[in-house]
Amino acid sequence: MFNKDKISKTDFLLPKNNFLVGFGSVLNIAGSYFEYNSSKTGNEADLKALFSDWLNVGEDLNVSKKKFEKKYKKELTSK
């Protein structure tokens, strides 16, 4: 459905620019300097954002679980 690696960042809908691109935008008179990650409809954009949010929640839970297991490994395996 979506590329998980690409969409799992919180800023996936924003343009990816560096300092030189930002500096160059100051000189841009036309106004269409940045290309944003776009969706065909508002609903599609909402779906992508929700999907990304839940991927990040899942990743946070996974990281927390691993830290917990590492910290309490003795207690968890001694039973």
* The two three-digit tokens of residue 58, written as one number: 């899942």
Structural domain boundaries, residue 22: 14-77
Q: What is the pLDDT of residues 20-70, one digit of tens each?
A: 666 666 666 656 656 666 788 989 988 988 998 899 999 999 999 999 999
Q: What is the pLDDT of residues 2-32, one digit of tens each?
A: 565 555 566 666 656 667 666 666 666 656 6
Residue 1 lies in a domain: no
Check residue 31 and give left, alpha or beta (phi > 0: left; psi -120 to 50: alpha): left
Residue 39 lies in a domain: yes
Which distant-in-sequence residues (6+ apart) come within 8 Å of 52 by Cβ? Answer: 7, 8, 9, 10, 12
Residue 67 lies in a domain: yes
Q: What is the pTM of this model?
A: 0.55
Domain count for the chain: 1
For residue 1, the number of C-alpha atoms closer than 13 Å in the C-beta half-sphere is: 7
Residue 7 lies in a domain: no
